[in-house]
């Protein structure tokens, strides 16, 4: 990777990365973002991510993108995920263990029911 010489160079890299993310999401009805900052990983986010991917695969759900992000700033409720379904407000869930991830996929993704006891925030962060 070439050296960055200006803020403009950094912004170009950011724009390209965002475009690449959008390409991965084309044709999807929604997205699950797993926060993979240091605090999330320490709290079990890797296992949560695997549980989400496995739960979607076992139910043959292929219209939901699963992506990773850095810290969402909600360290006290890690692991956290954000569920964004087309036409609905985003929901951020906290304390998402692998078992809770399975519940979220079943209830929210498949049945459209928000898992209220795990909700940290509704709407954008």
38 falls in which pLDDT band (50, 70, 90)? very high
* pTM given for the model: 0.77
Could you give the domains of the chain? 27-122 (3.40.30.10)
Residue 4: what pLDDT? 74
- The secondary structure element, H or E, covering residue 74 is none
Residues 113-118: contacts with CB within 8 Å, 24+ apart?
A: 118/93, 118/94
Using one digit for the tens of pLDDT, what is the confidence trace for 97-110?
Answer: 999 999 999 999 99
Helix runs in 78-124, H state only? 98-104
Q: Residue 106 corresponds to which tokens in the numbers above?
A: 């079943």
Question: Does the pLDDT at position 24 exceed 60?
Answer: no
Q: Looking at residues 29-51, what average pLDDT do you find? A: 94
The confidence band for 7, taking pLDDT boundaries of 50, 70 and 90, is: confident
Decide if pLDDT at 66 tops 80.
yes
Number of Cβ within 10 Å of residue 9's Cβ equals 12
- State yes or no: cis peptide before 4, omega within 30 of 0: no
Q: What is the pLDDT of residue 23?
A: 44
């Amino acid at each position: 990777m070439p050296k960055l010489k200006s803020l403009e160079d950094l912004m170009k890299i950011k724009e390209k990365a965002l475009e690449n993310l959008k390409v991965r999401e084309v044709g999807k009805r929604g997205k699950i973002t797993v926060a993979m900052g240091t605090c999330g990983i320490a709290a079990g986010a890797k296992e949560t991510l695997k549980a989400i991917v496995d739960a979607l695969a076992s139910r043959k759900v292929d219209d939901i993108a699963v992506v990773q992000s850095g810290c969402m700033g909600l360290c006290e409720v890690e692991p956290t995920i954000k569920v964004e379904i087309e036409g609905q407000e985003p929901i951020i869930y906290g304390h998402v263990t692998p078992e809770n991830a399975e519940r979220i996929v079943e209830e929210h993704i498949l049945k459209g029911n928000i898992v209220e006891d795990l909700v940290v925030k509704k709407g954008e962060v």
